[in-house]
Structure 1
């Protein structure tokens, strides 16, 4: 172990300020683990592949070497049942019955698959097509895009994000510019299935989706991981997927409609779904394989409050083999996303072992299938290794920034829980500040594993490397984010770079360490702020303690 520095850490424990030595999480460990996990040998770390086995072996070896304990009743692993589904021989998606037939090819113009696990072939044949706006049914907001509709057997076409995502401020029916869960693609498919739709197609648009079509294509082609709920997932739509904006414009024109005009109408309260008087058809074979993926759970036992637990989470998985780059490279290595977060688990465990045990126990959890919709986190949250009422809270790490040191951090979900105060104290010690998301319309709060825990009431802190860089300020931060999103995110070029500047990561690791250490050394139980959507869930889970 290489210890870079010792930093005094102020911990608030039962109202008193206690000083405890803190250890700098070792960047050398980070570099070594990131480079290894993102090498071609690991083949992009897709669940259910040889890359998963190598990832699990590496993590168990690292945690064992540090002296951590298996965290799941003597096992390092929590089994997560999954079904791998690969769409094969996908026919073009066609729309007929309008002014002119529209045909979209798999990959460049549409992607399609299924959550259903009960059939070798999925067929949508001459399914009536209905435009349902944003596809939202929110009784508490007085909004229902499915009002008066029967979409059983039909294909619904849905806009991505919320109706008010273009609002400048953060007030409105759907929180203005800030995305709610109603804007997330996972919700769109969930609601379409509840409504009985045979097929659900989301219209891609780069700004409200927060990524280009290249990300959709690389993420949704190839093997997909799904969790099996009901037998065969027969309560799900037969087909789900995305269509490109150009395809959507063409099918609307064929129906005598205009996509821009319909999108504007769908933003207004009282919007009524429109029968496009088209018929949709698509078919594909399903290659399925049931398997057990795994979460890795490592325990650093506490002392006087060892039945209370602080969590550190990061997802170990990525996309595996994906759409080829121009040079033929088809391995999505996931170096930043999320070999960095996984390596941070190891580095933080190493620092905490060096500093010695805390009163509370600490769990370091590497989660599977985040890229498939937070499946590993959702499974853990529904089948927790330790009771959630004994889980204090924690930090989640996903895609640490390689843009260099920043004056700030961007908190995803700032103002939602008491954990903000823990971060503020850590930032003050570093001379940095917390800022809100510059792009809340991108819905990052719903795109990483902390959300699965939040839905069960557990406060989890998730922040990203700052966008106000020490060198170059906000302009440089925005340029770095744009470059990563357009050229590496969910693509084969998210690879380890020996020339990376690790100074920003080192600063962010210190913050994760300080926050986690204070939680683990204290007696307070952080909660969601009054009025937050998760407050009542937390209060119920903590009742009687």
Structure 2
């Protein structure tokens, strides 16, 4: 009876403007496959899966082996791979970041008190010497919001000190000049360095504060020391600031005090429209370091399951395969950041979903399974794919992104990152209804997760991508237990050596979420819909232009 009703229900859904129902699922993605892939990719043999290492080569070979065994086709014009030109930069002989000229000299040590790097790929030695220092608040230049923290100040050749997040990140509601508590892209560290470079700053230093940054100093230290990867460019990124980095809040407060200022007072002033940048009179910054530079090509992996009736329309499944490689050692000496949760789980989900779709048989549309590189370095692999797509983006219907699946257990909800932005929400709602679960808004929108994973690269090109995380309303323990599990992971495992495979994990939540990804993707692949961004969304006009004429 359920099968007999399906065509009628699909027509009703289509007439109502909603997504067509997926066919009843006669296969399910395998948790055993997921376990096998996560355990393999997060083992010490892969050395943390850093791009440009032996760990990358092992990862690529393993993924191709799995996809090939399923009978998938190479997804990039006859190749399993897409080369992504990167530059690996490793800082050596880093001096302390010194501030002189104030009441007292302030010095921040590399690692425990500050981190420093460069995007410039043709500069074996970086030296910022006696650079005048300017506090630029949140470092935002947003003409459409009539907000410019750089108004009336020339920072060319100077060192700018910048606050992390948006001016209204402490708001209780999601309303305000920068969406209230929900972070905008202006709050991300990537934007702040980009804008500082556009303003001509010699050095850009972000003040770390755990709440607005959304992670502790341990994450900054493990992520920003050791080899860093940047996108290659013809000019060696010469337009970027010579030095970029972070400084601990206590050191930043000491710096302001040395100039006769108060960091808390300055931060409060920076939250208000009309804030004016504050030069630290007489204070100058100096730092130097050598760079070991290596150009190399990392790779995205693309596997294709051709569609049966509309093979020139594509549904995209994405996950990043990379992690940090070797990083700051734990007290027991373990220095491999295995990235079991982040993101061996997402990569394993990619394999399990490909396997399930092969078993179900080709969908009407083609399905592209994309494992991307260098997400941890700033979404570089997905950004490169979005600029050089294997299949035209105007023929890419939409898709899902999978990053760091939760092992906290089965939840009554899922947390949708960017809930309400696109019509893909309707697909998820329908799949959730079958599980008697719900979609929730982000409990911590100030953390800016929408700008921290690979779906953002595709969104910027207009392609709707669904990204959700395991819910925090756990069947066992409710929201208190869910929040505690998320906090425990963030504080003790995230971007650290203890993000390792655990045979005692509770896979019940992952199983349910994996089935959601399958149901959403399969429904989209069997439909004739072209989901769009909701009216007024920042990406709607881009999508409309890309689809014009089809």
TM range (shorter): over 0.9
Q: Which residue of 2 aligns with 1:52?
A: 56
The 8 Å contact of residues 22 and 526 in structure 2, kept in 1 or not, is answered as: no
SS state at 2:156 partner: coil
Q: How far apart, in 1, do the equivalents of 2:76 and 2:470 lie?
A: 31
Assess, with a 3 A threshold, how the Cα gap between structure 1 residues 203 and 271 changes in structure 2: closer, same or farther.
Answer: same
1:437-516 alignment, distance < 5 Å:
437-516=442-521
1:203 paired with 2:207, answer: yes
Following TM superposition, where does structure 1 have runs of at least 4 consecutive aligned residues deviating by more than 6 angstroms?
Answer: 8-11
Q: Which residue of 2 aligns with 1:122?
A: 126
Q: How far apart, in 2, do the equivalents of 1:412 and 1:534 lie?
A: 15
Q: Which residue of 2 aligns with 1:265?
A: 269
SS state at 2:350 partner: helix
Q: Which residue of 2 aligns with 1:362?
A: 367
Correspondent of 2:221 among 217, 222, 226? 217
The 8 Å contact of residues 408 and 466 in structure 1, kept in 2 or not, is answered as: yes
Q: Which residue of 1 aligns with 2:396?
A: 391
1:521 paired with 2:506, answer: no
The 8 Å contact of residues 22 and 522 in structure 2, kept in 1 or not, is answered as: no
1:288-367 alignment, distance < 5 Å:
288-367=293-372
Q: How far apart, in 1, do the equivalents of 2:489 and 2:253 lie?
A: 29
The 8 Å contact of residues 9 and 514 in structure 1, kept in 2 or not, is answered as: no
User: Deviation string for 1:344-396 (max 9, x for gaps)?
Assistant: 00000000000000010000000000000000000000110000000000000
Correspondent of 1:433 among 417, 435, 438? 438
The 8 Å contact of residues 22 and 523 in structure 2, kept in 1 or not, is answered as: no
Q: Gaps (5+ residues) in structure 1?
A: 1-7
Q: How far apart, in 2, do the equivalents of 1:18 and 1:127 lie?
A: 61
Assess, with a 3 A threshold, how the Cα gap between structure 1 residues 322 and 9 changes in structure 2: closer, same or farther.
Answer: farther
SS state at 1:225 partner: strand
The 8 Å contact of residues 9 and 21 in structure 1, kept in 2 or not, is answered as: no
Q: C-alpha displacement at 1:19, in angstroms?
A: 3.2
Q: How far apart, in 1, do the equivalents of 2:202 and 2:261 lie?
A: 23
TM-score (norm: length of structure 1): 0.98
SS state at 2:268 partner: helix
1:25-424 alignment, distance < 5 Å:
25-277=29-281, 278-424=283-429
Q: Which residue of 2 aligns with 1:3?
A: none
SS state at 1:19 partner: coil
User: Deviation string for 1:235-275 (max 9, x for gaps)?
Assistant: 10000000001110110110111111100000000000000
Q: C-alpha displacement at 1:118, in angstroms?
A: 1.2
Q: How far apart, in 2, do the equivalents of 1:19 and 1:375 lie?
A: 36
The 8 Å contact of residues 12 and 518 in structure 1, kept in 2 or not, is answered as: no
The 8 Å contact of residues 21 and 523 in structure 2, kept in 1 or not, is answered as: no
SS state at 1:135 partner: coil
Q: How far apart, in 1, do the equivalents of 2:216 and 2:10 lie?
A: 44
The 8 Å contact of residues 9 and 22 in structure 1, kept in 2 or not, is answered as: no
Does 151-160 or 16-25 show the bigger shift? 16-25
Structural RMSD (CA): 1.2
Q: How far apart, in 1, do the equivalents of 2:6 and 2:259 lie?
A: 64
Q: C-alpha displacement at 1:17, in angstroms?
A: 5.0
User: Deviation string for 1:435-468 (max 9, x for gaps)?
Assistant: 0000000000000000000000000000000100
Q: C-alpha displacement at 1:21, in angstroms?
A: 3.5
Q: C-alpha displacement at 1:24, in angstroms?
A: 1.0
SS state at 1:500 partner: coil
SS state at 2:457 partner: helix
Q: C-alpha displacement at 1:12, in angstroms?
A: 4.2
The 8 Å contact of residues 80 and 295 in structure 1, kept in 2 or not, is answered as: yes
The 8 Å contact of residues 375 and 381 in structure 2, kept in 1 or not, is answered as: yes
TM-score (norm: length of structure 2): 0.97
Q: How far apart, in 2, do the equivalents of 1:9 and 1:259 lie?
A: 62
Q: How far apart, in 2, do the equivalents of 1:198 and 1:494 lie?
A: 36
